[in-house]
């Protein structure tokens, strides 16, 4: 997983080092170069000095191929701006923002941006979300236009034909795991609860795909 962490304060350092220890590709962005001194000598990620909402800086950090962006600054406003850019401009699959204001946090969660606040468990909360959100996993971004996605089908889709889930030029089912067996699904096959599908999904169709799959 490729993760962008915006903000290298205490919380950002903890998140960044945890992800790096789990062998994820991590890029940390902060406008104060001295903040990077808080990272341990064992940190294997990359640091980039700049303003977290600057699109040029985000592109240098690799946001176009990022799987997750985590806004860790001490400013709700900055985290909100960065999260909005990541979600709606660059279509990063998973966006998390640290929020102190519970009203703003609820607003952003309604927009599909997961939030953590000082009233929650911080790092543990972030990691439980990332590691527990297994029904929809972006395995790889293929350039900027296509995602390889792994999904675990919910009970509501049991009996639905696979062909009903596909969208020409937007979503294609490429493989199926069922009861420990892997296969290429046939056109006349139907979904079964707990099927695992591997899909290619266009970037501009990610929201619609999750709605179709009821995830």
* 99-112 pLDDT per residue, tens: 777 666 677 666 66
Q: Tell me the per-residue pLDDT of 1-44, one tens digit each, with 9 for 90 and over.
A: 899 999 999 889 988 998 898 888 999 999 999 999 999 998 99
How far apart CA 57 and CA 66 sit, in angstroms, is: 13
How far apart CA 33 and CA 76 sit, in angstroms, is: 21
Whether the full predicted model's pTM is greater than 0.75, yes or no, is: no
Residue 70's CB is within 10 A of a number of other CB atoms, namely: 29
| CATH code 3.40.50.720 region(s) in the chain | 2-132
Our measurement of the distance from residue 90's CA atom to the centroid of its chain's CA atoms, rounded to an integer in Å, reads: 12
| More confident: 194 or 162 | 162
Helical segments of 10-134, H only: 10-21, 55-61, 76-88, 102-110, 123-132
How far apart CA 213 and CA 45 sit, in angstroms, is: 34
% residues pLDDT > 90 (the chain): 39
Q: Tell me which CATH code domain 2-132 carries.
A: 3.40.50.720
Mean pLDDT of 210-214: 85
pLDDT value at residue 187: 77
Radius of gyration of the chain (CA): 18
Give whole-number Cα distances, 66 to 11, 61, 63, 138, 158, in Å: 20, 9, 5, 10, 32
Q: Tell me the per-residue pLDDT of 49-98, one tens digit each, with 9 for 90 and over.
A: 999 999 999 999 999 989 899 998 888 888 888 988 998 899 888 888 88
Asked whether the predicted pLDDT for residue 121 surpasses 50, the reply is no
| CATH code 3.30.70.1450 region(s) in the chain | 136-212
Instruction: Specify the CATH superfamily of domain 136-212.
Output: Regulator of K+ conductance, C-terminal domain (3.30.70.1450)
Structural tokens at position 114: 């997961």
Helical segments of the chain, H only: 10-21, 55-61, 76-88, 102-110, 123-132, 206-212
């Amino acid at each position: 997983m490729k993760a962008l962490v915006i903000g290298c304060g205490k919380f950002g350092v903890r998140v960044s080092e945890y992800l790096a220890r789990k062998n994820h590709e991590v890029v940390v962005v902060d406008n104060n170069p001295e903040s990077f001194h808080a990272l341990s000598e064992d940190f294997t990620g990359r640091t980039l000095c700049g303003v977290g909402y600057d699109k040029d800086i985000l592109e240098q950090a690799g946001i176009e191929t990022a799987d997750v962006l985590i806004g860790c600054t001490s400013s709700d406003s900055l985290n909100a701006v960065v999260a909005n850019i990541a979600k709606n401009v660059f279509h990063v699959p998973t966006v998390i923002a640290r929020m102190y204001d519970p009203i703003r946090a609820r607003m952003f969660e309604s927009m599909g941006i997961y939030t953590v606040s000082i009233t929650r468990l911080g790092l543990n909360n972030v990691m439980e979300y990332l590691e527990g959100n297994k029904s929809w996993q972006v395995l790889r971004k293929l350039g900027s236009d296509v995602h390889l996605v792994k999904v675990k089908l919910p009970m509501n889709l049991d009996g639905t034909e696979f062909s009903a889930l596909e969208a020409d030029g937007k979503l294609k089912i490429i493989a199926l795991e069922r009861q420990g067996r892997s296969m290429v699904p046939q056109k006349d096959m139907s979904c079964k609860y707990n099927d695992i599908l591997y899909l290619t999904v266009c970037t501009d169709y990610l929201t619609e795909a999750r709605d179709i799959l009821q995830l």
